[in-house]
Amino acid sequence: MSRNLIISLLLGILIFSSKAALSAPISEDLNSAVAYAYFQIGEDDADDQSLSLGAFLGQIKEITENHYNVASITQVLDAQKSGKTLPPRTIILTFEKFDRGFLRDVWPILEENNLPFLLFLNAAKLDTASSDEDSLDPNWDDARTLENSPLSEIGITPYSYTHSANIDNSDIEMDINRAKTLFREKMEIEPLYFSYPFGEFTPDYLDVISKQGFMAAFTQASGVIGLSTPRNLIPRFTMTDSFSDIERFRMTSSALPFPVTGITPMSVFSKANPPSLGFTASNDIPDQDIKKMNCFASGISDVSIHSTEHRIQIEIPTAFDDGKGRVNCTIPVSVTDGSGDDDNLRWRWLGFQFSFPE
């Protein structure tokens, strides 16, 4: 056998092996999107959900200078329904805790850069606004200012922004209907999007939302929006000063869907701490990719993963502190189109949020 032929055969084997090592894309990758949740934005905020204005401006610079596709939630849902491909780094900007500081500091930045956004409004806060002109409390006129912008979409929370561990279905439904009625009366709109207060939901809460006619309802668990993502469980990466660095923003913005079914428990609230977390990964995800999965629990090391075929059980060795916790599971996916990180990787991402009522 000639030397040239041997070299050709070896090259062929290497190329075949490298291609085999690459994780195959799945259909949901082609029109997936990542949503971000912003709460209080301002230099002097001490809230644990706050983000400094400087950090927010840094993210806007990253977005505008590096070919991100900032889309509305309606555009993303329509693309997924029709099978239209979306560009890598398609992201959705969502905001809560609306006040006049938002109108003063954040809204001009979004308008200047022509960035669409989804704003969740709380009817109780608008209803009880202070008459003091120097107050940051927003009123219905302030809300109408943004509702008239082509960049904005309006979503709602229940009238009462409260924890939902012990709320009856009838009370949840009444509270949501009260908010919807006010938005019809005050702004002449039918809200299409909903945000769970504090990201909290239960099976009963999900049942109520499924009957309310919303196009989508948003949690505060991390993850990526794919075609199979339940429309009443849209994930978002929360943006706070603790998680606002640009490297993390780049990594999460290129994240990929991690489609699963059979999640247990199907609730943010868990009597057991740590919870017994399980789910079934989609058959679209190859077995070799499942073996690459890692899971991380906030403040806890040595999380174990047990899988039987595509059924996965996460074993968390110790209890979460502070009555709440998060679990994030990721799978590295090799890419060759320049959409990944410095190692040419993107990450399938699946997040869970837990609360442990006393």
Closest CA to 332 of 226, 262, 254, 280: 254
Neighbour tally for 272: CB within 10 Å: 11
Strands 40-41 and 50-51: parallel
At residue 306's C-alpha, the angle toward residues 301 and 312, to 5°, is 105
Q: Are 221 and 199 in contact (CB under 8 A)?
A: yes
Range 60-68, long-range pairs (CB < 8 A, 24+ positions): 60/109, 60/113, 60/115, 62/246, 62/249, 62/250, 63/91, 63/113, 63/115, 64/113, 68/253
Closest CA to 68 of 271, 280, 246: 246
Residue spans of the chain under pLDDT 50? 1-20, 45
| Residue 322 confidence (pLDDT) | 85
Q: Phi first, then psi: what are they for 205, rounded to 5°? A: -60, -45
177-226 pLDDT tens trace = 999 999 999 999 999 999 999 999 999 999 999 999 999 999 999 999 99
Q: How is residue 13 written in tokens?
A: 């084997």
134-144 pLDDT tens trace = 778 899 999 99
| Structural domains of the chain, ranges and CATH numbers in brackets | 27-257 (3.20.20.370), 262-355 (2.60.40)
Helix axis angle, 169-187 to 140-147, nearest 10°: 70
Whole-model pTM? 0.91
DSSP string, 225-266: B-TTS-TT-B--EEE-GGG--HHHHHHHHT-B---EEEEES-
